[in-house]
Structure 1
Amino acid sequence: MKKVVVGLSGGVDSSTAAAILQQQGYEVVGLTLWLMKGKGQCCSEGMIDAAYICEQLGIEHHVVDIREVFQTNIIDYLVAGYSAGITPLPCSQCNKTVKFGPMLDYAREHLGIDKIATGHYAKITYDAATNRYQLRRAVDRNKDQTYFLYDLSQDLLAGTVFPLGETTKTETRQIAAQFDLKTANKPESQDLCLVEANGSMRQFLDKYITPKQGEIVDATGKVLGQHEGVHHYTIGQRRGLGIAAAEPLYVIGLDAVMNRVIVGDRTSATQSECTVQRVNWVSIAEPTAPIRAEVQVRYRSQPVSVTVIPLENSRVKLVFDEPQFSITPGQAAVWYDGDIVLGGGVIERQ
């Protein structure tokens, strides 16, 4: 019998993924990663629901304490980024270094199983012509999570199954109800796990970064107001600036060294190009010449046409066909060919 380890967060998606695989004839083992204490699907509350689901399905349930890895790779990473005046994206980092990598390692080393599965909305196919696994968008474009999965290696893609790739969120809940899963009607998480556990990103950051008052200035250096900490702001932000102006102002720069928030009009918050570092070429080998693609620079942004120019040291330059608003250092840029994820990386500070 085929065996698979399913990462269970205590939510409806991972629960349904486990039930689907069991129905398909897999011997399923449940695995929950203990990331941190507190409320939320990745915390104590989620672990209890995950244990209940395993009991419902009659499968083993393993809990792996990975709090130190989470602290180093996510919390310390976020705090260092916000302290430096960038806005890190924790989810991509978490998927590779905290979730998928450790899960597959545990499955192989402790359980003798070489496949893992999660409740992510994405698809994996194999291209024999290039001998590469391809990461593809899910059928449900509203739930597609490939933007957060761009950093998965070929080894991780080869060892991963996404049972919900062909399923819409509505269908997932229907399937969960058919299996009478406890989580069938569980509300969906609307925030990062850290936000869920701490109340808000501001509250989380203020636990680690001491707020320090500084100036809000325009591009010429004119002082327009005061702020309570650079880490409370992000590029493109308009609300909560606390300054009056004749036209809408947006955050266009964060100077952690001078402790300044720089603002400007919408035009000054747009860019025609940016550079991206720590690039992972997912479904194709790294090209030697520029390629055309569609890129997302935020999870909920629409893909836009771009020329991707390879640079040295795992970097690329993105040249947009039309200038883009709010290109935010620390966030991910992920480029596609149709539904295939070509590659992605972290936007650099310009």
Structure 2
Amino acid sequence: MMSKVVVGLSGGVDSSVAAASLCNQNYEVSGLTLWLMKGKGQCCSEGMVDAAHICEQLSIPHYIVDAKELFKKNIVDYLVSGYRSGITPSPCSQCNRSVKFKPMLDYAEKELNCNLIATGHYARIRYDKETDKYHLLRAIDRSKDQSYFLYDLPQEILARTIFPLGEQTKEDTRRMATEFKLKTANKPESQDLCLIESYGSMASFLEKYIQPQTGNIVNLKGKVLGNHKGIHNYTIGQRKGLGISASEPLYVLKLDFRNNQVVVGKRSDGLRSSCIIKDVNWISIFEPNAPMKVEVQVRYRSLAVYANIIPIENNRYKLVFEELQFGITAGQAAVLYNDDVVLAGGIIEK
């Protein structure tokens, strides 16, 4: 008897190949597309059409679930609230847990009598008999690894998820798409958040929800260097697009929401030795009650660096870096690793 699996289809080449490869492995595959918002983009109208074509090619059923309200509540409102308060939220991990993976699994179980889901993410899952835990690992292709965005998935979801692309490179995926003669084989890769893809930029998206309030750009001594177009348009570590001239490069060091100021300074002024993280999801190990050494990644494209993690209270921890770090940003995810294994992850509080 074939195992049933529901594959999340965005209309891109990765999810298309994930579905095709599972069909080739004799799974009983169904395609599921979540309608997250109206408009253009991989996850919207265009994506749904391409996902439907892929299901037709593979001769598998295709289901569409209207998740626009869920997306607005858990992602749009979450982003707007964060930017209004002067932080820079990281929506993808939030979206994966609360909008994509759990709703997909719920739909698969309740509507399709299926307890397995799959996506085209580049990551791996491995079961450890000794600890009875499912480990989340980086993908073989480090340049495409997406484990950073998946740190918030709980054990009950990891236990029922398949990542068919985790053991291969992006080049392998493109080659397989051509071999399977998939309609999406040559489709350009999405490079941005779905919101940016749909609206053109994060600033354009935020303009719909946040009334710009101009203010001053100041240095660390409070000297006014120029004007900003609304704090929500800036992020910690930003250098370009500040609209000010100086004898040396200046970076955004702080977003002062209370005084409506963007604080800038030299790169060396933005180096930090530690940060506090909250809402930590421990995946591969049990929550530690004493300091321990870890590797930590504080942005998706940053390199993992060594740090000591120290428990505080109420699922909050202090990360003390072995080397000073630049651009630590409240609202972003800090993901902890041991080589390829994701240990845990949380949100940078301050």
Q: TM-score, normalised by structure 1?
A: 0.99
CA distance in 1, matches of 2:345, 2:170: 25
- Asked if 1:93 is matched to 2:89, the reply is no
AA in 1 matched with 2:175: Q
AA in 1 matched with 2:339: G
Match of residue 289 from structure 1: 290
Match of residue 231 from structure 1: 232
CA distance in 1, matches of 2:154, 2:184: 31
Q: CA RMSD in A?
A: 0.7
**Deviation for aligned residue 1:246:** 2.1
Match of residue 251 from structure 1: 252
**Deviation for aligned residue 1:290:** 1.2
Match of residue 347 from structure 2: 346
**Deviation for aligned residue 1:257:** 2.2
Deviations 1:262-307 (A, max 9, x none): 1111111110000001111111111111111111111111111111
Deviations 1:198-225 (A, max 9, x none): 0111111111111111011112221111
AA in 2 matched with 1:221: G
Match of residue 108 from structure 1: 109
Paired positions, count: 349
The residue correspondences of 1:150-229 to structure 2 (distance < 5 A) are 150-229=151-230
- Asked if 1:312 is matched to 2:313, the reply is yes
- Asked if 1:300 is matched to 2:292, the reply is no
- Asked if 1:55 is matched to 2:56, the reply is yes
CA distance in 2, matches of 1:244, 1:23: 58
CA distance in 1, matches of 2:89, 2:268: 24
- Alignment partner of 1:87: what SS? coil
CA distance in 1, matches of 2:64, 2:315: 35
Deviations 1:50-107 (A, max 9, x none): 0000000000100000000000111010001111111000100000000001000111
Match of residue 65 from structure 1: 66
Match of residue 34 from structure 1: 35
Which runs of structure 1 show a deviation greater than 2 angstroms over 4 or more consecutive aligned residues? none
Match of residue 119 from structure 1: 120
CA distance in 2, matches of 1:133, 1:171: 26
AA in 2 matched with 1:38: G
Deviations 1:169-220 (A, max 9, x none): 0000101111100001100001110001001111111111111110111122
Mean CA deviation greater in 256-265 or 180-189: 256-265
Deviations 1:311-335 (A, max 9, x none): 2111111100000010011111101
CA distance in 2, matches of 1:109, 1:126: 25
Structure 2 unaligned regions, length at least 5: none
Residue identity over aligned pairs, in percent, reads 65
- Alignment partner of 1:47: what SS? helix
CA distance in 1, matches of 2:20, 2:284: 29
Q: TM-score, normalised by structure 2?
A: 0.99
Deviations 1:210-248 (A, max 9, x none): 111101111222111111100000000111111122221
CA distance in 2, matches of 1:110, 1:314: 35
- Alignment partner of 2:144: what SS? coil
- Asked if 1:240 is matched to 2:241, the reply is yes
- Alignment partner of 2:75: what SS? helix
Match of residue 84 from structure 1: 85
- Alignment partner of 2:94: what SS? helix
CA distance in 1, matches of 2:102, 2:256: 34
CA distance in 2, matches of 1:107, 1:340: 28
- Asked if 1:4 is matched to 2:5, the reply is yes
- Alignment partner of 1:15: what SS? helix
Match of residue 323 from structure 1: 324
- Alignment partner of 2:41: what SS? coil
CA distance in 1, matches of 2:276, 2:180: 47
CA distance in 1, matches of 2:247, 2:169: 45
Structure 1 unaligned regions, length at least 5: none
CA distance in 1, matches of 2:139, 2:311: 27
The residue correspondences of 1:14-29 to structure 2 (distance < 5 A) are 14-29=15-30
CA distance in 2, matches of 1:109, 1:36: 24
CA distance in 2, matches of 1:310, 1:119: 34
CA distance in 1, matches of 2:197, 2:113: 34
